Structure 1
Amino acid sequence: PANPPHSLRPPDLVEPVVADAEIRKIIKDLKPKSAPGLDRLTKSHLLSLPPTWFSTITNICNACLRVGYFPDQWKVGKLITIPKPDVDPRDITAHRPLTVTSNLGKVLEHVILNRLTPRVIDLLPEWQFGFRPQMSTL
């Protein structure tokens, strides 16, 4: 296929134990103006779902982790461009490309991040400051 499936394995690194409370917190912590992907689901839409739907999202995330699958629909993005300030807008390099993806995909990404970060953080050398929580590169 054009986009081969991504594996979330090995299974010992990804424990498929996701709770409704974790899903609620992840959705609540999405950026306030997080743009919707092609599914048009905004953060507000997700927060206004009835409790049974949080359980459904939780079950989907658990199933994705268990079988090592990230839904293709959540990987498809919409490309938009943001003009750079003080540059001729007719110049192609005067625009910054940005891909907007599904907020449900962002939820699953955070679930994966929450499980991998504690296992990877101790593997990084002590002088690695970038991409680490509560560390500054300045």
Structure 2
Amino acid sequence: ALNTNKIYIIPALVNKETSSVARSDIDKAYLLAKTFAEPPQPPKDVDEKHYEMIEDDIRFKVAISKSLELNDNFIGVSDTHQSNITKEEVIEAMRHLSPYKAQGPDNIHNQRLKNGGNAMIESLVFLFGWSFRMGYIPIAWKKANIVPIPKPDRDHSQCKNHRPIALLSSVGKLMERIITRRLMWWIPIMA
């Protein structure tokens, strides 16, 4: 766990391409962003047939799932996992919110959600229900603040020795928890 009382000042960073040193916060942020945004390299020993088999299996299971949902005799798995989000689901998800997690770009802290009372819960039920029914995730829930965390016992003047941590919207994470719980119930039934 991070020590939230400690302020970490990022030291001057060395640009590995130009060997120049980034000293200003803006230059350091640019260098870290460039390092964190580099696309991962594909594995050298990729077994294409294995991935094709997995994709075929997924397509097959999706097709079966759709045909079952169209069948009039099929009883309600789809009804249950697609039903409205309930007050109980929101309350249960809120129980797991940590008051020690940092807020994301929306500046809504977990503690604010927990202390909002019944009005907050009812508002979240409405918001999550609307989002779920429309199949729309608000853009604000997809944004993140990326915070560089130094890897222990490393040279912190090197960008690669910092780990990017994404601080996401607490509201978005709350809805994700509800959807994840539904999927964890639904997936074994459909497997």
Q: Provide the TM-score with structure 2 as the length reference.
A: 0.55
Change (3 A) 1:22 1:122: closer
Which 5+ residue runs of structure 1 have no aligned equivalent?
A: 1-9, 125-138
More contact order relative to length (CA 8 Å, sep ≥ 6)? 1
Moved over 6 A (4+): none
Task: Pick one of 51, 54, 60 that aligns with 2:127.
Answer: 60
* Amino acid in structure 1 at the alignment position of 2:115: S
Count of residues in Structure 1 that have an aligned counterpart in Structure 2: 115
Aligned to 2:26: none
Matches within 5 A, 1:1-138: 12=78, 14-121=81-188
Aligned to 2:45: none
3-state SS in 2 of match to 1:18: coil
- Rg bigger for which structure? 2
Q: 2: distance between equivalents of 1:59 and 1:120?
A: 26
Deviations 1:21-48 (A, max 9, x none): 2212212202331210111111111111
Higher mean displacement: 68-77 or 32-41: 32-41
Q: 2: distance between equivalents of 1:55 and 1:68?
A: 20
Which 5+ residue runs of structure 2 have no aligned equivalent?
A: 1-65, 70-77
3-state SS in 2 of match to 1:17: coil
Change (3 A) 1:33 1:121: farther
3-state SS in 2 of match to 1:107: helix
CA RMSD, Structure 1 to Structure 2 (Å): 2.1
Kindly, what percent of the aligned residue pairs are identical?
Answer: 25
Deviations 1:84-108 (A, max 9, x none): 0000000111100011010000011
Change (3 A) 1:32 1:19: same
3-state SS in 1 of match to 2:166: strand
